[in-house]
Amino acid sequence: MSTSKDMFQDSLSSAAGAKPTDLPVLLPIAAQVRQAALIERREGTYRLNVQPQHLAWITLIFIVAAGAAQAATPEGMLGPMEAIFKWMGFILWGPEGELTGFSLNLIISFLAMMLGTVAGAALGLMQVSLLLPVRQGSWLVTQFFRNSPWLVLLFTIMLLVPFEIDLGFVVIPVPDWIKAVIGFSLPVMANISEVVRGAVISLPSGQWESAESLAFTRRQTMWMIILPQCFKRMIPPWINWYCILAMATPLCSIMGVEESVTFTTQALNAEGDRPELIPVFYSFLLVIHFIYTYPIARWSIQLEKKFAVKT
């Protein structure tokens, strides 16, 4: 007589495409296993999920805006499309040989996210420390920077950090974009700290108890058992915060950082600040930021579905 284990293995083989089982009682189980496998494969596949009507609406809006700007263009001057093509490279990567413009937005977002992730991971682990002063101090730092306006933090860093640091034997310049990296990394640090803390405390207490029963130290438990399980839980919110950071980087243009908004303004000034070019230039700026961040945001949604905790 077949055991229940053999019966279940037969059902798995049927779901995988092998010879179907002759036992009708196992057919519902095989269907459930097959359906679960299909769902897992489908959710594990990245899809941008942009419908044709979305592209049609975006194209229509762009055509209408460009047509209205073209109609308002004085005779003998560059039209909006010609002006965009003329200044496109300047807005995207600045003058030749310099990494400025939109490329500087990306550099600031990469460095600020890297710095904020490292500091935030350490701060998040301190929030689950067994030492009360460490736990309370890290909680205070997290809540302070997490609930502070990003623009205020940028102004504070820009005004407090000097333009150069004199070490006596060498003078180290501190450009404005480096200050922007520091300013953006502070709120990112606080939010990543909460992501790490939430992922750690979301694991069942049985994980800690099992490690303790095996004589693991707290450090071994954290690095060998807890954090490996937290990694997949932290990826979707981490990507989501990177998208938020990338969309916030134009704020540093207020402080004179030569990124995409600053160069768009300079391009408009070079064209005589013509009113009909303003919506076209800033729409182009909006589009390039959208093209960069939207696929990342959709990827975050797919990862969130894939790594969702099954209850």
Say how far apart CA 256 and CA 272 lie, in whole Å. Answer: 21
Q: Where are the beta strands (DSSP E) in the chain?
A: 164-166, 171-173
What are the structure tokens assigned to 239, written together? 């990507």
Residue 170 burial (C-beta neighbours within 10 Å; 0-12, 13-18, 19+)? exposed
Task: Report the SS3 class of residue 78.
Answer: coil
Q: What is the pLDDT along the chain (311 residues), one digit of tens a residue?
A: 445 555 545 544 544 444 454 545 545 555 665 665 555 554 444 445 555 666 677 677 767 776 776 776 776 677 777 888 888 888 888 777 677 889 999 999 999 999 999 999 999 999 999 899 999 999 999 999 999 999 999 999 988 888 888 888 888 889 999 999 999 999 999 999 999 999 999 888 888 888 888 888 888 899 998 998 888 889 889 999 999 999 999 999 988 898 999 999 999 998 888 887 888 888 889 889 988 998 888 888 887 777 766 55
Q: How far is residue 305's CA from residue 292's CA, in Å, rounded to a whole number?
A: 22
Collapsed DSSP state (helix, strand, coil) of residue 166:
strand
Can you list the domains of the chain with their CATH numbers?
Answer: 4-43 (no CATH), 52-306 (1.10.3720.10)
Instruction: Quote the distance between the C-alpha of residue 237 and its chain's center.
Output: 8
30: three-class secondary structure by DSSP: helix
Asked if 275 and 285 count as a contact pair (C-beta separation under 8 A), the reply is no
Q: Which two tokens stand for residue 153?
A: 């933090």
Is the pTM higher than 0.85? The answer reads no
Please provide residue 202's backbone torsions phi and psi, each rounded to the nearest 5 degrees.
-80, -15
The residues near 246 (Cβ < 8 Å, ≥ 6 apart) are 105, 106, 109, 289, 292, 293, 296
Q: Which two tokens stand for residue 74?
A: 């004085």
Amino acid at 131: L
Q: Which structure tokens are listed for 129?
A: 């420390």
- Distance from C-alpha of 173 to C-alpha of 78, rounded to nearest angstrom: 40
**Could you give the count of Cα atoms lying within 13 Å of 168 in the half-sphere of its Cβ?**
0
Is residue 230 within 8 Å of residue 304, measured between CB atoms?
A: no
